[in-house]
Amino acid sequence: MARPRTFDQPSVLAAAMDQFWRRGYEATSVRDLASAMSITGASLYNAFGDKRSLFRHCLDSYLDTYARRRIAELDASGDPIRGIRAFFDDLVEASLKDRRGCLLVNSAMEIAPWDSELAAVIQASLREIEDGFHRALERLCAGTRPQHEQDARATARLMLSAVIALRVLARAGGDGDRLRSIARSAVALAEDWQGR
Q: pTM of the entire structure?
A: 0.88
Rounded Cα distance between 102 and 170, Å, is 9
Query: Mean pLDDT across the chain, nearest whole number?
Result: 89
Range of the domain at 22: 9-51
Number of Cβ within 10 Å of residue 160's Cβ equals 20
- Same domain for 97 and 173? yes
More confident residue, 108 or 5: 108
What are the DSSP calls for 5-21, one per residue?
P-S-HHHHHHHHHHHHH
Identify whether 161 is part of a domain.
Answer: yes
Q: Is the pLDDT of residue 9 over 90?
A: no
CATH number for 36: 1.10.10.60
Q: Is the pLDDT of residue 194 over 70?
A: no
The per-residue pLDDT for 196 is: 54
Identify whether 43 is part of a domain.
Answer: yes
The per-residue pLDDT for 96 is: 94
How many domains is the chain built from? 2
56 band by pLDDT with thresholds 50, 70 and 90? very high
